[in-house]
Structure 1
C-alpha cells in the first residue's frame, strides 16, 4: 500500500517558482486566501494520506550576494506560515493528515511542543511534524544571533527532540485528568510532572502545558540527505521525505538509511520512506507531455541558480553555465546537491539550474496506467508512498485525485482512509507506543 502526501508551501508556488506566470496556477494568488486552502484540502481528503507543508524563514541572498534576484524570481518569497492554517484545514476535512514544517534551530522546544499538541487536539490526531534545522544566513540572523554550523544544527535538533518528546510522553499520565466536580479536582497533581531537562543546548523544566493529545507525539518526518542528515533521520525520524532523480538513486538512499537505522538499534522496517515525485498525468500520453512542456516553457535558468545558491549557501553566479557541476563544501542543504551527484549522468551548472528550478524530483509523464506502473517499480525499490509535487496547483493535484488515485486503488495500492490518527495510519502504532526510542 502507498501513502500519498501532497507537497505545498504557503507561497505562490510549491515547486516551480516560475509557475506563477501560468494563468491556471491559482496558488499564485490563492495562497493568501483561506477558501483556496480549504477547497484544496477537501479535494485531497480521502484520496491522500496527508497534506505536507514545506516552510522556510529567510529571504535568499546568496545569488549575486543580493536579495534582488530572489524577489524578482519569487524563489521561496513571499511566504506565509503554515502553522496558523492547520486548525482551519482540520475543520474542513475528515481524514486528511496535516504535516507541517518547523525548525528545531529557530523555535524554542517548549513553545513548539505546546503549539503542536494544540494542533494534535484540534485535528483529532492528524498532525505530523517535519523536523528541519534551517540553513540560510538571514533566517539565523533574523531569529538568532548568527548561523549555527551544519553538523551542530543536527546535534541541537537531536536534543530538541529529546526535550519535546519528554514533554509529550512523560509529563502527563494518561489518567491525570479526573474532572472530579464534587471533590473540586480537575487533574491529579501526582499525574503531572516536571521533565527537568538540563542539556548542552536547552534547559527546560516543564511541565508540559497540554494534557495528552490523541497521538501524544506527532508523527516525526525528516528530510535530511547529507551524511549527517541521514544519520539524524535514521535515529530519530519515523517518516523520511527524500529527493532522488532516479529509481536507482532512491534504492541506494533507501538501503543506506535502513542500514543506518539498524546500526542505531532500530528495526529498519519501522521507517516509512516517501520520495518526492512530480507526476504529469492525463488521459493520453500526448496530453501529459503537453502539460509537462507547458511548465518547462516558463522556467528561467536564473530561478534554478537562485534556488541552488539559496539551498547550498553558495553563489552559483560565479560559474559559467557550461561548467560541470561539482561537489562543494557547502554549509547549506547539502542533500540538494547530492541528489544530482548521485544520479547516473554528469550535469553542467546550467543543466542543473534548469532541473533544480523544478526541484530534483523524479518526474513521471503519461497516462494513469503508465505512471502507476512506474510507482509500482519504485515501491519494489523501497518506497512506502510518495510526496507528490505539482507545478500547477490545484490542477496538477486534481489530476492525481481524479486519474491516478483510482488507478492505484484498482491495483490495491492506495487505501481508503477512515478516522484513525496519522500515527495509526502510517505506522500502525497507537499513541501509547510512539517510536523511535529516545537516544
Structure 2
C-alpha cells in the first residue's frame, strides 16, 4: 500500500475552519521551517512514501464577487510557495519523498525544468511534480491577458511536459560530467545537446541548464477529472490521483485509467484521495467528529466551492431554481452537481446547504476515512481490494493533531497487517524506485 500525506502551505489546509481547532498549529506553523521540518521527520519515522504539497495560484474571488471571504475565513489563503519548504525538509530527512504542485499555465518549461532538476539534486532523487493546468479565475495576478480554455490549457500542458521531459532526458548524455581537474574539463561538451522544440506555445533551441539529477525527470503526478485530463495522465503521469465515490464506479475508473495508460505503453500507480479522522476508541472517534463539526466554517466551505465551480452562490436568492444558473465550470463540477438528490426541482438554497453544511463523518463515507485504527485499516483494505487502487493520498483533519493520530494510531496498525513498510529499503533510494521498485530510476515515456 502506497501512502502519501497531502497538505498545503496555508493556515487551513483543505478543511475550512479547522485552523481554529485548539490542537491545530497550522495557522502559525505553515510559515515556519521548524513546523515543516518537524512534520517531515514525523512522516519519515512512520515510513510514509511522500509529503505532497498542493498549491493554488491566486486567491478565490467568486463568492460574493470578492476575495474578502477567502481571506476572512482562510480559504486557500494566504499561501506560501511550497517549493521553498522542500530543501529544508529534505535536509532534515533521508528517505521521505516530496511532491509539489506546479502549473503549466502560469510558468515556462525551461524554468520549470531547472527548478525540478535543482530540487531533485537537493533531495538526492526524492522529488515529484504534481502537474496542474490551473483555474484561470483565481490567477489574475499572473499577467495573462487572454484566458485559455479548458482544452487549450491541456494542449499547453501537453506541449509543456513534452518539452521539459526532452530537457531532462535528451539534453545531457550519461557521462557528460567528467570533473577532470587536471585537464580543466568539467563537462564533455560534445555530450550535451541543444533541445530544439517549436510548437504553438514554445520555441526553444537550448541545452538544459542543469546537469542530470538522480532521477533526471521528477516523478510525475496528475489528477485529471475530465476526459482530456485522464488522457493527459495516461500519457505522462506515473502517479494518478482519483477521488472515488463508490466501489463499483471506482473499479471502473481505476481500470479505465490503467487501460488508457497501457495504450501509451506505460504503467501508473493510482492513489485514492481521502480525508482522515482516526481515534483511539469509539468515544474518542465520536468526540473528534463533534470537534470537526464544531470548528468547520460554513462560509469557508461556500467560498471554496464557489471558487472551484465559478458559481457565485451569494448572487442568488435561495429559491432560485438551480437549472436557471448556467454553470461556467469544469467537468468535475458538472458531475458534482449531478450528484445532488433530484426528488424535486433543486434550488440555490439546496445547493448552498449541500456544499456549505458539513456532514457528520461516518465509517462508510466516501470522502473521509473515519473510525478507530482497526476500522480505518479495514476500510482501506476494502477500498484497495474492491477498486484496485495502489494506495492513498491522505489529508488528516485537523492537520497537526490528525497527522499525529495517523502516525501513532493508524500506521502501526497498517504495519502490523503488513500493508505498509516498516523501513525504507536501501535498494530504493529514489522516489520513483519507491513506487516502481529497485532499479526503476528513469522515467518511462509514452510509446504513442
Deviations 1:278-319 (A, max 9, x none): 221111122112102211122232222211111122222245
Aligned-pair CA distance for 1:80: 0.5
* Distance (Å, rounded) in 1 between the aligned partners of 2:317 and 2:24: 32
Count how many residue pairs are aligned between Structure 1 and Structure 2.
434
**Does the 8 Å CA contact 1:275/1:385 hold for their aligned counterparts?**
yes
With over 3 angstroms needed to count, the CA separation of the structure-2 counterparts of 1:143 and 1:292, relative to structure 1, is: farther
Q: Map residues 85-234 of structure 1 onto 2, 5 A cutoff.
A: 85-234=85-234
Aligned-pair CA distance for 1:325: 7.0
TM-score by length of 1: 0.92
Residue aligned with 2:195, SS: coil
Matched with 1:382 is: 388
Aligned-pair CA distance for 1:425: 0.6
Residue aligned with 2:270, SS: strand
Aligned-pair CA distance for 1:324: 8.3
* Distance (Å, rounded) in 1 between the aligned partners of 2:313 and 2:366: 21
Aligned-pair CA distance for 1:247: 3.5
* Distance (Å, rounded) in 2 between the aligned partners of 1:339 and 1:230: 17
* Distance (Å, rounded) in 1 between the aligned partners of 2:68 and 2:113: 36
From 283, 308, 311, the equivalent of 1:314 is 311
With over 3 angstroms needed to count, the CA separation of the structure-2 counterparts of 1:331 and 1:91, relative to structure 1, is: farther
Matched with 1:351 is: 354
Residue 409 (1) aligns with residue 415 (2) = yes
Deviations 1:101-154 (A, max 9, x none): 000101111001101100000101000000001103241453322321111101
Deviations 1:195-250 (A, max 9, x none): 11111111121200111111001000001112221121122111011223443443
Structure 1 window deviating more from structure 2 (141-150 vs 407-416): it is 141-150
Residue aligned with 2:152, SS: helix
* Distance (Å, rounded) in 2 between the aligned partners of 1:214 and 1:255: 31
* Distance (Å, rounded) in 2 between the aligned partners of 1:139 and 1:97: 29
Residue 286 (1) aligns with residue 283 (2) = yes
With over 3 angstroms needed to count, the CA separation of the structure-2 counterparts of 1:274 and 1:226, relative to structure 1, is: same
With over 3 angstroms needed to count, the CA separation of the structure-2 counterparts of 1:91 and 1:330, relative to structure 1, is: farther
With over 3 angstroms needed to count, the CA separation of the structure-2 counterparts of 1:344 and 1:278, relative to structure 1, is: farther
Structure 1 runs not aligned, ≥5 long: none
Runs of 4+ with >6 A deviation? 322-329, 343-347
With over 3 angstroms needed to count, the CA separation of the structure-2 counterparts of 1:338 and 1:244, relative to structure 1, is: farther
Deviations 1:329-379 (A, max 9, x none): 755553255356468998941113335999x96212211111111000111
* Distance (Å, rounded) in 2 between the aligned partners of 1:293 and 1:62: 30
**Does the 8 Å CA contact 1:9/1:53 hold for their aligned counterparts?**
yes
**Does the 8 Å CA contact 1:301/1:357 hold for their aligned counterparts?**
no
Residue aligned with 2:357, SS: helix
* Distance (Å, rounded) in 2 between the aligned partners of 1:313 and 1:89: 35
Residue aligned with 1:77, SS: coil
* Distance (Å, rounded) in 1 between the aligned partners of 2:285 and 2:342: 25
* Distance (Å, rounded) in 1 between the aligned partners of 2:150 and 2:82: 25
* Distance (Å, rounded) in 2 between the aligned partners of 1:165 and 1:224: 19
**Does the 8 Å CA contact 2:16/2:301 hold for their aligned counterparts?**
no
Residue aligned with 2:399, SS: coil
